[in-house]
């Protein structure tokens, strides 16, 4: 029996293949080159130049470019603010700390209000201000030199990894992503087609799968679409396609109630939609033939005008993505094209801003009062770690990796400073001495097993190594205390997020509350929140709910079918408002108390559903009666959503 060599077996076990090894070597060389350039230019703290390399580097070229761009923007903004604050260091140090805390709070909050890769600029603006202001408080006579060094090192590191990425990092496979988006839209066509033919089976399960896939694709698209000059148009088309696909799912559930045994609602349209559900890259031009598209939309118009709108937008979006039809893409910029509301989380933004601001205020104040370099390192690390973890949706997942990485990196940094650095007296030796550590760090960062803690280990090592000449005069106890200060900071911040995690239940509560709040706005003031704007916001909250429900106990209380019913209730309310100018005096008399009744949808959904059914029987206008029936049916099928109260759980459910 042959035995596999130990080295290849070990490499595979830690998650390294040929491509990963190349990526790891790229990281190591880029970081080393950035450090060497900063060292030979005699920039203070040259290890700062290597740190951006490990953060900016990404698996795809576009994302690396975009993160590099926003790192530069955020660094420049944070440095400018830091320059302004440090003017007051000597005369009003605690006022400077207060200004820094406010800055950190604002930009910590903005990480949850700015969408996608752009939020990285807000994170870097907060971190850079911390890195500029806190060290300058201890050496105010050199504040300009330190601040400029921080900016210069960032530019060196970002430019180095960007050039490296341009040569060695592959482009994202956007074609595969477009096909995945279109396949999900095709799945919605299949669900709707079976509904129109009266043969829907496991509709709720299919709705859940489609919503989950859309949520995952929308998140993945942030990285895949990054760095593309044409991304603005493509993102808008994809967002319109997402809104229309979810609209098709909601329409399917609304039309399902009209089916009668042996009397399918629209079998011809159902057959066309089932044909559309087979859509792929090879048959795109054939299935998305313009004449067939027009015929399908005409059939949909005879069934439901809203269905026709969603179907037409879906067809045009898929034709643009798969067949690259410029004419079809024009819909993305028309006035009536649906868009996806920005992914903003005000609740999390307030929580993050307050937490990061207070941590910065207390840690920097204590450090300044103590007046030691150890206090400076602790305050610096504490403020930085709180911003990094606070910017994440679920920091408790990453916090253990950060803690392990900081502990390992700090220990290695202390060993380097005690065993190696005392014997180094030239810049060349400093640059060469750090190469093996960067090589190990780069390969660990590329490893599937160690990539998360490796990032923070590299950061901790570079910061703790203090690899620069002239070196500070320190004792063994100083070295141990400085490395220990980073460990303490990591334990405090990461430990806090681990012991007090952010629960998905809270995100579910916020999303359901937002949807219901918007429904109240739609009912009471349609001018404040028009139907189109309501749809954009509700689809965004639907995606957020779908993402969080998979990780929370509330998935037993809420299901995608309930969320879709909320969309249908809003659609029915908007339809009633649209028809209101055409109400006859008799209809107006019957519906004179409609608004007051609709405002009870969260308190008594079943009672309101019965009232709307009664109205529907009394009203003689078919369109108005149909909208009332649809609203009633949405309330019945979505009663668990409308009557949902945060913190209420079913039997046997526990908090996570």
How high does pLDDT run on average in the chain? 85
Which structure tokens are listed for 74? 């955020």
Q: Is residue 338 part of a domain?
A: no
Residues pairing with 263 in the sheet: 260
Inter-residue contact 605 to 643 (CB < 8 Å): yes
Residues pairing with 260 in the sheet: 263
Tell me: pLDDT of 650 over 60: no
Does one domain contain both 57 and 108?
Answer: yes
Does one domain contain both 458 and 547?
Answer: no
Q: What is the predicted pLDDT for the residue at 530?
A: 73
Inter-residue contact 119 to 388 (CB < 8 Å): no
Which structure tokens are listed for 198? 């009266």
Does one domain contain both 294 and 188?
Answer: yes
Alpha carbons 247 and 314: distance in angstroms, whole number? 10
Does one domain contain both 510 and 464?
Answer: no
Inter-residue contact 375 to 481 (CB < 8 Å): no
Q: Helix (H, G, I), strand (E, B), or coil: what is residue 111? A: coil
Q: What is the predicted pLDDT for the residue at 14?
A: 73
Lowest mean pLDDT among 68-72, 464-468, 601-605, 651-655: 651-655
| Band (510; pLDDT cuts 50, 70, 90) | confident
Number of domains observed in the structure of the chain:
3
Q: Is residue 4 part of a domain?
A: no
239-295 per-position pLDDT tens digit = 888 888 998 998 888 887 776 666 788 889 999 999 999 988 788 888 888 888 889
Q: Is residue 418 part of a domain?
A: yes
Q: Is residue 7 part of a domain?
A: no
Q: How much is the CA Rg of the chain, to the nearest whole Å?
A: 29
Phi first, then psi, for residue 260 (nearest 5°) are: -125, 150
114-147 per-position pLDDT tens digit = 988 889 999 999 999 998 899 888 776 666 777 7
Q: What is the predicted pLDDT for the residue at 653?
A: 35
312-332 per-position pLDDT tens digit = 888 888 888 887 766 666 665
Nearest to 133 by CA among 167, 168, 92: 92
The 8-class DSSP code of residue 201 comes to -
Does one domain contain both 133 and 106?
Answer: yes
546-589 per-position pLDDT tens digit = 777 766 655 555 667 778 888 899 989 988 988 999 999 999 99
474-505 per-position pLDDT tens digit = 899 999 999 999 999 999 999 999 998 887 77
- The residue out of 467, 499, 531 marking a domain boundary is 499
Q: Is residue 309 part of a domain?
A: yes
Return the CATH number at 296: 1.20.58
Q: What is the predicted pLDDT for the residue at 552?
A: 61
Range of the domain at 265: 174-333
Does one domain contain both 166 and 178?
Answer: no
Alpha carbons 219 and 289: distance in angstroms, whole number? 30
Work out the average pLDDT over 454-477: 91
- The residue out of 309, 333, 357 marking a domain boundary is 333
Q: Is residue 591 part of a domain?
A: yes
Q: What is the predicted pLDDT for the residue at 1?
A: 40
Inter-residue contact 531 to 572 (CB < 8 Å): no
Q: Is residue 653 part of a domain?
A: no
Does one domain contain both 148 and 275?
Answer: no
Does one domain contain both 326 and 184?
Answer: yes
Q: Is residue 617 part of a domain?
A: yes
Nearest to 87 by CA among 32, 140, 13, 164: 140
Does one domain contain both 307 and 398?
Answer: no
Does one domain contain both 104 and 157?
Answer: yes
Does one domain contain both 635 and 523?
Answer: yes
Q: Which residues contact 123 (CB under 8 A, 6 or more apart)?
A: 74, 107, 111, 387, 388, 391
Does one domain contain both 512 and 605?
Answer: yes
Tell me: pLDDT of 542 over 60: yes
| Band (391; pLDDT cuts 50, 70, 90) | very high
Inter-residue contact 630 to 568 (CB < 8 Å): yes
- The residue out of 471, 499, 527 marking a domain boundary is 499
């Amino acid at each position: 029996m042959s035995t596999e060599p130990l080295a290849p077996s070990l490499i595979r076990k830690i998650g390294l293949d040929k491509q990963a090894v190349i990526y790891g070597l790229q990281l190591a060389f880029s970081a080393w080159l950035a450090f060497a350039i900063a060292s030979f230019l005699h920039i203070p703290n040259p290890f700062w130049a290597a740190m951006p390399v490990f953060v900016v580097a990404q698996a795809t070229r576009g994302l690396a470019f975009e993160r590099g761009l926003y790192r530069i923007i955020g660094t420049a903004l944070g440095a400018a603010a830091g320059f302004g604050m440090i003017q007051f260091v000597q005369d009003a140090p605690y006022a400077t700390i207060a200004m820094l805390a406010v800055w950190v709070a604002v930009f910590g909050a903005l990480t949850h209000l700015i969408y996608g890769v752009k939020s990285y600029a807000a994170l870097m603006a907060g971190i850079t201000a911390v890195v500029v202001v806190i060290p300058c408080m201890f050496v105010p006579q050199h504040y300009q030199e330190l601040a400029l060094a921080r900016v210069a090192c960032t530019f060196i590191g970002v430019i180095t990894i960007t050039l490296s990425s341009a040569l060695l990092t592959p482009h994202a496979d956007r074609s595969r992503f477009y096909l995945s988006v279109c396949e999900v839209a095709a799945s919605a066509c299949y669900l709707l087609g079976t509904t129109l033919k009266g043969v829907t089976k496991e509709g709720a399960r299919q709705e859940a799968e489609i919503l989950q896939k859309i949520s995952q694709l929308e998140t993945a698209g942030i990285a895949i679409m990054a760095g593309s000059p044409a991304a603005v148009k493509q993102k808008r088309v994809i967002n319109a396609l997402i809104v229309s696909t979810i609209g098709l799912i909601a329409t399917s559930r609304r039309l399902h109630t009209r089916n009668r045994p042996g009397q399918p609602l629209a079998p011809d349209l159902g057959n066309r939609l089932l044909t559309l559900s087979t859509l792929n890259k090879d048959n795109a031009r054939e299935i998305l033939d313009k004449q067939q598209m027009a015929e399908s939309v005409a059939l949909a118009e005879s069934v439901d005008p809203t269905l026709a709108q969603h179907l037409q937008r879906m067809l045009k979006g898929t034709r643009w993505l798969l067949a690259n039809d410029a004419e079809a893409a024009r819909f993305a910029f028309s006035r009536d094209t649906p868009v996806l509301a920005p992914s903003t989380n005000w609740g999390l933004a307030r929580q993050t801003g307050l937490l990061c601001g207070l941590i910065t205020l207390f840690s920097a104040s204590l450090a300044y009062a103590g007046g030691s370099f150890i206090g400076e390192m602790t305050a610096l690390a504490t403020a930085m770690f709180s911003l990094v973890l606070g910017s994440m949706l679920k920091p408790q997942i990453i916090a253990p990796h950060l803690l392990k990485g900081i502990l390992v990196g700090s220990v290695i940094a202390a060993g380097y400073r005690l065993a190696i650095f005392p014997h180094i007296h030239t810049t060349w030796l400093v640059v060469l001495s750090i190469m093996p550590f960067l090589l190990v760090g780069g390969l660990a960062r590329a490893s599937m097993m160690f990539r998360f803690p490796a990032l923070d280990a590299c950061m901790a090592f570079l910061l703790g190594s203090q690899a620069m000449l002239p070196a500070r005069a320190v004792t063994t106890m100083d070295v141990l205390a400085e490395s220990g200060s980073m460990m303490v900071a990591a334990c405090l911040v990461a430990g806090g997020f681990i012991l007090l995690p952010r629960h998905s239940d809270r995100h579910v509560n916020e999303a359901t509350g937002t949807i219901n709040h918007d429904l109240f706005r739609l009912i009471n003031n349609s001018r404040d929140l028009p139907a189109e704007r309501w749809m954009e916001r509700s689809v965004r909250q639907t995606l957020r709910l779908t993402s969080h429900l998979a990780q929370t106990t509330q998935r037993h209380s809420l299901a995608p079918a309930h969320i879709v019913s909320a969309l249908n209730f809003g659609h029915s309310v908007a339809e009633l408002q649209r028809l209101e100018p055409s109400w006859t005096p008799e209809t107006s008399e019957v519906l004179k108390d409609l608004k007051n009744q609709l405002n009870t949808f969260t308190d008594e959904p079943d009672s309101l559903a019965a009232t709307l059914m009664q109205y529907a029987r009394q009203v003689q206008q078919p369109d108005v009666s149909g909208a009332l029936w649809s609203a009633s049916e949405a309330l019945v099928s979505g009663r668990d959503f409308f009557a949902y109260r945060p913190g209420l759980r079913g039997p046997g459910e526990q908090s996570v």
